[in-house]
Amino acid sequence: MVNGETLKKNAAVKPAPTAVEAEFYKKRKLNYYFGRSYVYLLLLLIYVPIIMIVIYSFSKGSGFQSFRLSFDNIKELFTLGSIDAREMLTALKNTLTIGVATAFFSTFFGTLGAVGINSMKKKGRNALLNASNIPIFSADIVIGIALMLLFANLNITKGFATITISQTAVIAPYVMLSVLPRIKQMNMSVYEAALDLGASPLKAFGKVIIPEIMPGMLSGFILAFTLSMDDFVIAQYTKNNSFQTLSTYVYTKIAGKGGLSGALKPLSALIFFTVLAVLLIYNFKKSQDSKKQIKK
Amino acid sequence: MSNTIIELKNVSKNFGGENVVDNISLKIKKGEFVTLLGPSGCGKTTTLRMIAGFEVPSAGDVLLNGASIVNTPPHLRPVNTVFQKYALFPNYNVYENIAFGLKIKYKREAAVKKAEIKASCEPKAAAEAIKALKPKYKNAIEAKIKSVLKMVGLSGYEHRDVNSLSGGQQQRVAIARALVNEPEVLLLDEPLGALDLKLRKEMQLELKEMHEKLGITFIYVTHDQEEALTMSDTIVVMKDGVIQQVGNPTDTYNEPVNAFVANFIGESNIFDGVMPDDKVVKFDNTVFECTDVGFKKNEKVDVVIRPEDIYLMDVTNQNAHIKGKVISSIFKGVHYEMSVMSENKCEYLVQDTAQWDVGDEVGMFIKPFDIHIMRKLYTSNIYEGIIESENKVAFGGGVYEAATDGFAVGETVWVKVGLNSVEVIDDKEQGTVGGEVTTILFKGTHYHIDVKCGNFIYHVNTDVQWDDYDSVGIVIKPENIKLFKAEKKD
């Protein structure tokens, strides 16, 4: 009670800000607004193209010409009225299949690589880690050309398989880097405990190590899938002329001045929202998990 | 049939050029509680891991029931381990953790049974018989887990998440998980190391009880001598990968074979002494009666006296062997722990229930059979050396100046340096060689330390109190280095 009263008294006694102080507060407020608006402006610039795509999905034509409200493009996307739209859908299917295949193989090889590297002695481990960083740091175009020449020399027909193999070669190291920290922080005596209780090395790996590194594998899988979807350079060099992924399809259409389907805009918007939804669900689940961990 | 369940035959394990376990041989009897005891880095855990199968010996053989298991992978050995940090499976609950081993075992058994059933009767009856197998195994697992949980005092914890358990409870789950498989040998790798003192003492007794009840062999690794004394049937004291002593707790405590064991197990006074004759020992400038015989005349020995075996009495008492002055006195609950400085400046550690104050003049009395005499492991440093050039000799990891008259350059020689002739200095770089202090023994008037320089060990008597792992340099004066022809090994 006494404390509260003194506090109140003190508050009442608090003097009005001096001129210097007022100046300081004003400046600080200005700085605050300036900083805020800078961030918003930056975000806006990043998102303008996406916002445009979403808006112009509801407009006539295939480009960003003057806005004329119409649902033709959306209708075309879902009814596949034109040849262009059907071609686009085939390319999308290819992209998604390659994405899943690449993500699967990259996760498989990346995880095995991480497990192997982790159990190596220090010298060999560092050498292999550096070696596996090369595909990450070197330009896609170099790897693309190299693989193209390789397939040509070996007389391998380019297509779905060559793209998947090439992308896996480039993307697997990323997965490895996302799995490796999980393995490093794992208590390896858990693996030994499983062996001790009679599990064969393979079984111990499946029952004990895999569940522990699952989060790393999962985020590696998602990363691999998005990297594969994004890829243009490697796909362009390791595909045949009739095979198209979404990115190479758009490029071919623009380069050949052919009719780019207007349905591309709503399709892009759709992909954007799908990825956004996946991301939101993933993050939500992650925060829920960590909350659960804290509760424990 | 022989009574030995595990036998180590000349086992060595080499890590990066260093023998962590060095040619040890050991027999462990069925049903015994054996403790491998030693300071960290003495090779006790490595020895255990070789029995479990996680390490393969570099040399030697490991036998289980008379058959070599060196080439048997860990998952096929009938031993189970309780790990230092529990190593529970974090993604399973208590029940699933304990059931892990049983499920694998039953799956194997079931596969064999199924094949038998299929071979013995017609398909329809076989299918039904196989169907009946599953609940049978399930019930067996459930019953076993229930009883093992009861034994470790965790009944009703089946569905708890292992991460939600306390350290003590997790340790109990780890023990249950190993015991439920009914192994022939249970290996325990410092299982109580992470628990607090009170819980540790409780668990020690519980483990001992379990051992008595189950009758299986326990091999227990610890660095805690009290734990070893409390629980074991047999204590194996190890140091630097070598077994120092094997014996029951009483013998190990009362009759340590060397100064290291005496110092490591219990508290003790260790002095340098000489045996002028059988049953007579001289240390601290005083002649004592003792019970030990069989030493050479005037052999240099280590003398061990436990602090509780020294009796303090009035300074005027005629029975007193030595007189001294109390220089510190600490109350320890049951007794007082006092340091007494004798007239000849030798410090004694004494435990007595009577209180003496600092500064009191006291007489000390020691019974003959409480004086334990041990052979010295070494009385000087001896190395193989080579004459580098005139007045330079290389040994013990460095090149020293010494009088090399009478020796040719390049000749191999034996080098002898007395324990008191080695100087230890603070600066590792300033010494002829640099190393780390490993063993420290207080000898009443001085310290005896071992300095490890690479692969060489220097034994040193010093007045300075060093700490474990201190980095030090070694200096030896030329006149203190004695060279001998190679064939004349001292």
Residues B281 and B338 in one domain: yes
- Chain A touched by B109 (CB under 8 Å): no
Residues A114 and A34 occupy one common structural domain: no
- % chain B with pLDDT above 90: 37
The total domain count for chain A is: 2
Cβ distance B178 to A196 less than 8 Å, yes or no, reads yes
Q: Could you list the mean pLDDT of each consecutive 10-residue stretch along chain A, which spans 296 residues?
A: 50 71 87 92 92 87 77 80 81 93 96 90 86 85 90 88 92 92 87 92 90 90 92 90 86 72 84 89 82 60
Question: Does A134 share its domain with A250?
Answer: yes
**Contact (CB<8Å) A190/B87:** yes
| Tokens found for residue A266 | 């709503």
pLDDT of B285 > 60? The answer is yes
Taking CA atoms, what residue in B is nearest to A193?
B87
Q: Say if B1 falls within a structural domain.
A: no
Q: Whole-model pTM above 0.90?
A: no
Assigned domain for A62 exists: no
Where among B329, B353, B375 does a domain terminate?
B375
- Identify the CA nearest to B394 among candidates B402, B386, B405: B386
* Closest CA–CA distance from residue A292 to any residue of chain B (Å): 12
**Residues in CB range of A34: below 8 A, 6 or more apart:** none
Question: How would DSSP label each residue in B326-383?
Answer: EEEEEE-SSSEEEEEEETTS-EEEEEESS---TT-EEEEEE-GGG-EEEE-S-SEEEE
User: From CA A193, how far away is CA B85, in angstroms rounded?
Assistant: 11
**A157 and A215 within one domain:** yes
Q: Are residues A102 and A32 in the same domain?
A: no
Q: Looking at the 3D structure of chain B, how many domains does it have?
A: 2
Helix axes A160-184, A210-230, angle to 10 degrees: 140
Q: Which three-class secondary structure state does DSSP give residue B228?
A: helix
By the 8 A CB rule, do B448 and B469 touch? no
Q: Given CB atoms, is B184 within the 8 Å cutoff of chain A?
A: no
Q: Return residues 173-212 of A near B (CB < 8 Å).
A: 187, 189-190, 192-201, 203-204, 207-208, 211-212
Asked whether residue B327 falls in the same domain as residue B297, the answer is yes
* Whether residue A34 is found in the same domain as residue A159: no
Given pLDDT bands bounded at 50, 70 and 90, which one contains residue B98? very high
The verdict on residue A2 lying in a domain is no
**Distance between CA atoms of residues B433 and B395, nearest Å:** 10
Q: Do B75 and A201 make contact, defined as CB atoms within 8 angstroms? A: yes
Final residue of a structural domain among A36, A55, A74: A55
**CATH code of residue A97:** 1.10.3720.10
The answer to whether B181 contacts A296, with C-beta atoms less than 8 Å apart, is no
Of all helices (H) and strands (E), which one includes residue A156?
none
pLDDT digits (tens, 9 = 90+) for B128-143: 878 888 888 888 899 9
Task: Flag whether A121 is in a domain.
Answer: yes
The two tokens of residue B298 are 């005037």
Asked if residue B401 belongs to a domain, the reply is yes
Same domain? For B322 and B399 the reply is no
Supply the pLDDT for residue A5. 52
Across the interface, of A192, A198, A201, the residue whose CB is closest to B87 is A192
Predicted pLDDT of residue A283: 85
Domain co-membership, A242 together with A96? yes
Residues of A in contact with B74 (CB under 8 A): 192, 195-196
> Closest approach of chain B CAs to the CA of A101, in angstroms?
29
Closest CA to B289 of B258, B319, B259: B319
Residues 6+ apart with CB under 8 A from B147: none
Q: Does B103 touch chain A (CB under 8 A)?
A: no
Establish if B364 belongs to a structural domain.
yes
Q: Does some domain include residue B156?
A: no
Q: Which three-class secondary structure state does DSSP give residue A67?
A: coil
Q: Under an 8 A CB cutoff, do A193 and B161 touch?
A: no
Return the axis-axis angle of helices A122-137 and A83-118, rounded to nearest 10°: 160
The parent domain of residue A41 ranges over 19-55
Residue B265 has pLDDT above 80, yes or no: yes
Judgement on whether residues B370 and B401 belong to the same structural domain of the protein:
no
Question: How far apart are the CA of B89 and the nearest CA of chain A, in angstroms?
Answer: 6
Cβ contacts (< 8 Å) between A200 and chain B: which residues? 75
B52 contact residues in A (CB cutoff 8 A): 192, 196
- In a domain, residue A8? The reply is no
At B1 the pLDDT is 47
Residue B481 lies in a domain: yes
A73 occurs within a structural domain: no
Read off the pLDDT of residues B171-196 as tens digits, 9 standing for 90 and up: 999 999 999 998 999 999 998 887 88
Residues of B within 8 A of A198 (CB-CB) are 75-76, 101, 104-105, 181
- Decide if A36 is inside a domain: yes
Q: How far is CA B81 from CA A192, A204, B191, B220, B302, in A?
A: 9, 15, 10, 10, 39
Same domain, A166 and A254: yes
CATH number at residue B276: 2.40.50.140
Do residue B274 and residue B294 come from a single domain?
yes
> Nearest-CA residue of chain A relative to B185?
A196
Classify residue A146: in a domain, yes or no: yes
Q: Is B83 on the interface with A (CB under 8 A)?
A: yes
Are residues A102 and A246 part of one domain? yes
Contacting residues of A for B76, CB less than 8 Å apart: 198
Residue from A195, A196, A209 to probe the interface with B (highest B Cβ count within 10 Å): A196
Domain holding B385, by residue range, is 380-485
Give which of B398, B400, B399, B377 is closest to B480, Cα–Cα.
B400
- The answer to whether residue B291 sits within a structural domain is yes
**Final residue belonging to a domain, choices B343, B375, B407:** B375
User: Closest-CA residue in chain A for B79?
Assistant: A196
CB atoms inside a 10 Å sphere around CB A147: 21
User: Do residues B407 and B369 share a domain?
Assistant: no
B275 and B356 share one domain:
yes
The DSSP code for B479 is G
Q: Is residue B259 part of a domain?
A: no
- Alpha helix stretches (DSSP H) within A57-187: 72-79, 83-118, 122-137, 140-153, 160-184
pLDDT in tens, B2-50: 688 999 999 999 988 888 999 999 999 999 999 999 988 889 999 999 9
Residue after which a domain boundary falls, among B345, B375, B405: B375
Residues A115 and A252 in one domain: yes
